[in-house]
Amino acid sequence: MWSKTTYLTGAIVGTIFSALVVKEISCLPQSSSNPCFPDPCGAGALCENRGGNRAICTCPDGWLGDPTTSCEPECLRLSDCRFDQQCQGTRCVDPCTNNVETGRPPCGTDAICERIRHKAICSCPKTHTGDPFVHCRPFTSADLCNPNPCGPNAFCEPGFDKRTGEERPVCLCNEGYTGDGVRGCTRGECISLQHNQCPDNRACYDSKCIDPCGPDFCGGQPCCAPNAQCRGVEHKAECSCPPGYEGDARFDCRPSRNGGSLTRGGGGGSSSGSLCSPNPCGTDAICTPGSDNTGKSRPVCTCPNGYSGNALVQCRRGECFSDSECPSHLACFDFKCQDPCNGACGRNTQCRVHNHGPVCACESGYEGDALTSCFRSNLRSG
C-alpha cells in the first residue's frame, strides 16, 4: 500500500480568520471499496469519499487543525475572538456583517455600525435621524422639534447655536407667558405691547407691567437725560427738565439763564421780551430765550420732542411716535423704528420679535432669568 498526501490551506476572507485544511488520501486498488471506512481522518474531521479509493479529510466549518490528526473549533466563547469579532457557532465573524439571530447585517440602511467589545453598535450619522436598526434618513429642521423638547406653555422653533452655528431647537414662551421655555412658562401680567392691560404709568414688556422709565423700555438705555425727570404717562416715558433747567430732557438739561415760555416756530405766540417774538426759528422749531458765549441774550432754536433737523430751517417729524407706525418686527424707540431685541435680553439667550416686542428665552441647555442672564443647567447645583 502507498499513500499520497496533499495539503490545501484556505485564504483569509474579510475579517473571518480560519484555515481550511484538506488532506487527500489515495489508496491502492486492493484496499476497501469505501476509503472512509475505517475512518482515516483525525478526531473531529470529516471524511468524504471522492471515488477512486480517495478519501478527503477536512475540518468542519469553523474548526481549525490538521484533519488527519485532530480539529478544534475556532472559538467557543467571545473571549476566543478579537474585540472587533464575535463568536458565532464555532467561528469568529464580523458582528457588523451578520446578526446571529437573523442572519442579516444588524444595522439598517445608511446607518453606522461600530464593532465594540464583540458587539455591533448601530447609530445614525450626525446628519441623519431615524431607527438605526431599520433606516436612517437625512435630518431636517422639523426634526429639531419632534418630539417637542419644551416645557408647559412653551413652543419650539428651529434655531441655530451662536457658538457652533449648528441647528438646534429653541423653546419660547407662548404669548402672554413668561419664564424658561425649556422648563415651562407661567402666565404673565399682560400680553407684550398691549399696554392697556397695565396701569397708565406702566408698560407691558415681556409679559410684565414695568416702569417705562426703566432701562428695558428704551432698548437698554435710560429714556431721559441723567438730570431729567421721568414719569410714566399713558404707558410711555415722559421726560422733563426740573425747575430752573432747560433743554431736551431726553439728552441734557442745562441751567436756565433766562426765564420765559417756549414758542413753536411758525405758530406765533409770545415769549418774554422780543427774542422769540416774532419767532426767528425754522418751521416746527421751538424758540427759547438764551444767551451766547459772551453772555449776550439771544434766541435758541431747538426741535421739539419727536422731531429732528436744522431748527433754524425746519424740524421734521420723527419716523414714529408709537409702535403701530413701525413694521411688526420693529418697535418705536427714540422716534425711530428699531430692532426691539437690541440689548433686550440677557446673556446666553435667544430673542425673537413678536408684535413689535422682544420675547426672550434661555438657549438650549441653559436656564435662569432670560432678561438678565442664563447659565448652563448642569452648573446650577454648583
Question: Taking the complete model, does pTM exceed 0.85, yes or no?
Answer: no
Q: Are 125 and 136 in contact (CB under 8 A)?
A: yes
What is the structure's pLDDT at 286? Answer: 80
Rounded to whole angstroms, the Cα distance separating 27 from 8 reads 19
Rounded to whole angstroms, the Cα distance separating 140 from 127 reads 9
**Exposure on the CB side of residue 267, measured as CA atoms within 13 A:** 11
The domain ranges of the chain are 7-74, 229-317
**Exposure on the CB side of residue 125, measured as CA atoms within 13 A:** 9
Residue 204 burial (CB < 10 Å; 0-12/13-18/19+)? buried
Largest CA distance in the chain: 150
Q: Could you say which DSSP state residue 37 is in?
A: S
Q: Are 127 and 139 in contact (CB under 8 A)?
A: yes
Mean pLDDT by 10 residues, the chain (382 residues): 34 35 48 74 80 78 72 82 84 83 84 87 85 86 82 85 76 82 84 81 83 74 81 84 80 68 44 65 80 76 80 83 80 82 83 82 81 69 38
Select from 367, 371, 373, 376 the least CA-distant residue to 358.
371
Residue 209 β-bridge partners: 204
Residue ranges in 116-266 assigned as alpha helix (H): none
Residue type, 199: P
Residue position matching grid coordinates 423704528: 337
